[in-house]
């Protein structure tokens, strides 16, 4: 056991490098907290604490950092994020008009952004044909197919 205590610093260095490397690829701050806990374990080992106590120190520090520091770091990281939706997410909620009758077998719609998409009716709506020129709303994207529901026509009263 003396050998384990004597060379524990090597294990701590390896853990720090592994956790830091994983953190670079994930950016979820969990592995950063584990790396900092490993630093605490390494420092406690330099003061001559037994290997099992080093492990306890590392675990307590890592859990404490995950519960206290990680949430504020995640908020700061997400604060600068672009709030605009992109790709498929940007198409949800977009309206368009039918260019080829949309029925249970499918059809085509021209979306508000000018793109023409293959479309099918959403399973939550009545499965009746939607004629050319009628307005539809995109409720989802399934592969290369827009899932749409017909917009209600507002009649003047």
Cα 65 to Cα 62: distance, rounded to the nearest angstrom: 5
From the number of C-beta atoms within 10 Å of its C-beta (0-12, 13-18, 19+), residue 68 rates as: exposed
Phi-psi region of 151 (alpha: psi -120 to 50; beta: other; left: phi over 0): beta
Which two tokens mark 64?
């404490």
Cα 62 to Cα 77: distance, rounded to the nearest angstrom: 20
Specify the length of the chain in residues.
157
Task: Output the pLDDT for position 155.
Answer: 41
Tokens 């479309």 belong to 119
- H/E element, 36: helix 30-46
Task: Output the pLDDT for position 86.
Answer: 65
Cα 130 to Cα 123: distance, rounded to the nearest angstrom: 14
Task: Output the pLDDT for position 156.
Answer: 46
C-beta of residue 34 within 8 angstroms of C-beta of residue 18: no
Collapsing DSSP to helix, strand or coil, 58 comes out as helix
Task: Output the pLDDT for position 69.
Answer: 94
List the pLDDT tens digit at each of the 157 positions of the chain. 577 777 889 999 999 999 999 999 998 899 999 999 999 999 999 998 888 999 999 999 999 999 999 999 988 888 876 666 667 778 888 999 999 999 877 899 999 888 899 999 988 888 888 889 999 999 989 888 999 998 875 344 4
Collapsing DSSP to helix, strand or coil, 9 comes out as helix
Task: Output the pLDDT for position 106.
Answer: 84
| pTM, two decimal places | 0.54
């Amino acid at each position: 056991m003396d050998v384990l205590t004597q060379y524990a610093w090597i294990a701590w260095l390896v853990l720090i490098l592994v956790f830091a490397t994983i953190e670079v690829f994930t950016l979820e701050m969990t592995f950063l907290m584990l790396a900092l806990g490993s630093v605490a374990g390494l420092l406690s080992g330099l003061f001559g604490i037994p290997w099992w106590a080093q492990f306890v120190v590392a675990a307590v520090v890592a859990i404490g950092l995950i519960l206290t520091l990680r949430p504020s770091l995640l908020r700061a990281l997400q604060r600068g994020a672009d709030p605009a939706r992109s790709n498929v997410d940007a198409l949800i909620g977009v309206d368009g008009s039918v260019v080829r009758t949309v029925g249970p077998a499918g059809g085509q719609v021209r979306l508000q952004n000018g793109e023409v998409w293959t479309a099918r009716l959403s399973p939550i709506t009545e499965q009746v044909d939607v004629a050319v020129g009628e307005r539809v709303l995109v409720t989802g994207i399934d592969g290369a197919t827009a899932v749409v529901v017909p917009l209600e026509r507002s009649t003047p009263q």
